[in-house]
């Protein structure tokens, strides 16, 4: 099987996890994880099946250097790049025809460190990608509000919001805040 990064390199089969076979490009060090090998391995993992992985931290906006489209070594079709999130800047290349995944050198290890190496199929799902887009939109909104109010006020508001979990308390707190704002306006 030829490497999608270097078509002149024949990939070498190796085990990257117990029971998970991948093909490594000897030139780039990247991995091709075949759909069939991935699912055979995944079905044997404790806790399978998992739902969409939690995206608990702010994704880093993509600053990918390697934007070149890659051709799948199995189907010969262009692969789609999917953001990983979890603070990682790179994207996983996925072949929707064969179901395989391409990860550049070092990417599998980073995914493994965050314990999402068994969630490649979920990362490449529309639901996961939508959650990343929502986090991006929230980050932009937070930046705009912080630019307007300042970091200290935003921290104060976030701390207050975190202490008002009960909906009844929230509605009373909002009403009281409005009353305080009205009183502050009347004093000026």
Q: What is the pTM of this model?
A: 0.71
DSSP secondary structure string for all residues of 93-125: EE-TTT--EEE-TTHHHHHHHTT-TT-HHHHTS
pLDDT of 60? 42
**37, 119: one domain:** yes
**124, 154: one domain:** no
Which positions ≥6 away from 39 have C-beta within 8 Å? 99
Q: Tell me whether residue 56 is in a domain.
A: yes
**18, 61: one domain:** yes
Closest CA to 23 of 5, 1, 56, 42: 1
**58, 108: one domain:** yes
pLDDT of 86? 87
Give the range of the structural domain holding residue 171, as residue numbers without chain letter. Answer: 150-187
Q: Domain count of the chain?
A: 2
Containing H/E element for 161?
helix 151-163
pLDDT of 149? 94
Q: Where are the beta strands (DSSP E) in 60-103?
A: 80-85, 88-94, 101-103
Q: Tell me whether residue 7 is in a domain.
A: no
**115, 173: one domain:** no
| Sign of the dihedral defined by the CA atoms of residues 4, 6, 12, 16, in that order | negative
pLDDT of 67? 76
pLDDT of 59? 38
Closest CA to 21 of 7, 5, 32: 32
Q: Tell me whether residue 6 is in a domain.
A: no
**44, 112: one domain:** yes
**112, 46: one domain:** yes
What are 156's two structure tokens? 């104060």
The whole-number mean pLDDT for each consecutive block of 10 residues of the chain, a chain of 188 residues, reads 93 95 95 94 82 49 63 95 91 95 94 92 94 92 94 93 88 91 85
Q: Tell me whether residue 144 is in a domain.
A: no
**117, 29: one domain:** yes
Strand-pairing partners, residue 91, are 83
**83, 161: one domain:** no
**126, 42: one domain:** yes
Q: Tell me whether residue 99 is in a domain.
A: yes
**75, 164: one domain:** no
pLDDT of 58? 39
**94, 159: one domain:** no
Q: Tell me whether residue 61 is in a domain.
A: yes
The answer to whether the CB of 1 falls within 8 A of the CB of 73 is yes
Q: Lay out the sheet containing 31-33: strands in order across.
A: 12-17, 20-24, 31-33, 101-103, 88-94, 80-85
């Amino acid at each position: 099987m030829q490497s999608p990064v270097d078509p002149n390199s024949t990939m070498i089969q190796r085990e990257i996890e117990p029971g998970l076979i991948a093909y490594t490009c000897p030139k780039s060090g990247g991995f091709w994880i075949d759909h069939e090998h991935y699912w055979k391995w995944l079905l044997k993992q404790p806790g399978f099946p998992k739902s969409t992985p939690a995206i608990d931290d702010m994704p880093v906006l993509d600053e990918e250097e390697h934007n070149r489209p890659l051709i799948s070594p199995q189907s010969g079709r262009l692969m789609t790049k999917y953001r990983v999130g979890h603070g990682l800047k790179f994207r996983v290349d996925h072949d929707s025809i064969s179901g395989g995944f391409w990860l550049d050198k070092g990417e599998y290890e980073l995914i493994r460190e965050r314990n999402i190496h068994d969630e490649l199929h979920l990362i490449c799902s529309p639901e996961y990608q939508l959650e990343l887009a929502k986090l991006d939109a929230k980050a932009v909104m937070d930046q705009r509000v912080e630019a307007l109010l300042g970091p200290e006020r935003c921290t104060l508001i976030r701390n207050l919001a975190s202490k008002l979990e009960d909906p009844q308390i929230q509605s009373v707190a909002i009403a009281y805040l409005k009353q305080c704002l009205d009183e502050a306006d009347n004093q000026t």
